[in-house]
C-alpha cells in the first residue's frame, strides 16, 4: 500500500433496480472500505445508455483519497460491483452497479486490467458533468474540462439530485 494518500475519481452508474439507492449505498460502502477515506460524491444525473439499450442510468462521480494502489483499488471496486449483483452477460449490458476508476492522481497506466486515465471519460457527459462538479479546474489530456464538456453538449443528461 502506498504510504501517502492519492486522490482518485470513480464513476458510478446503475440502470437496474433503484439506481439512486444503490449509488447512495455504495458511497457509504466506499467510505468504510479499508484504505479509502474522505469520499465525496457529485450530484446524481440521469442519462440514456451509450452504445446500448435499456433503462436510463443514474450516474455520479466520487472523489476519494486512498492508500490503495491502482489495481488494489480496482479489485475493491469490482468486489463492490459483485456484492451488488453485477452481471456481465455481454458488452454494455444493463447493470445493477458500474464502478469505473477514472483517475488515480496523475498516474498513467496501461495494464491489461486497467487503463489510466480512463480512455473514454472525456467523451461521456455522464462522467464529465459530475466530475466537473467535484473538480471544476481539472484538465484532461491538457485541456480544461469545460472544453471537453462543450464537445459533448448533444448528449442528453439531467441533474436529478444533490446525492
Which residues lie across from 66 on neighbouring strands?
6, 36
Q: How many CA atoms lie within 13 A of 137 on its CB side?
A: 0
Q: Tell me the three state secondary structure of residue 6.
A: strand
CB 59 within 8 A of CB 12: yes
Closest to 48 (Cα-Cα) out of 119, 125, 100:
125
For the annotated catalytic residues, the residue numbers are 86, 95, 98, 100
Q: How far is CA 91 from the centre of its chain?
A: 17
Closest to 140 (Cα-Cα) out of 95, 98, 102:
102
Closest to 122 (Cα-Cα) out of 133, 108, 132:
132
Which residues lie across from 13 on neighbouring strands?
59, 98
Amino acid at each position: 500500500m502506498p504510504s501517502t494518500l492519492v486522490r482518485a475519481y470513480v464513476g458510478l452508474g446503475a440502470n437496474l433496480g433503484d439506481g439512486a439507492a444503490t449509488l447512495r449505498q455504495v458511497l457509504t460502502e466506499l467510505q468504510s472500505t479499508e484504505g479509502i477515506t474522505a469520499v465525496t460524491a457529485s450530484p446524481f444525473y440521469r442519462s440514456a445508455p451509450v452504445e446500448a439499450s435499456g433503462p436510463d442510468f443514474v450516474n455520479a462521480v466520487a472523489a476519494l483519497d486512498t492508500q490503495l494502489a491502482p489495481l488494489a483499488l480496482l479489485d475493491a471496486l469490482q468486489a463492490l460491483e459483485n456484492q451488488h449483483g453485477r452481471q456481465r452477460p455481454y458488452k454494455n449490458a444493463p447493470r445493477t452497479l458500474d464502478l469505473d476508476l477514472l483517475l488515480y492522481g496523475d498516474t498513467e497506466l496501461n495494464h491489461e486490467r486497467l487503463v489510466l486515465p480512463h480512455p473514454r471519460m472525456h467523451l461521456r457527459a455522464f462522467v464529465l458533468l459530475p466530475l466537473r462538479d467535484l473538480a471544476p479546474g481539472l484538465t484532461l489530456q491538457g485541456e480544461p474540462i469545460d472544453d471537453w464538456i462543450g464537445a459533448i453538449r448533444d448528449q442528453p443528461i439531467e441533474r436529478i439530485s444533490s446525492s
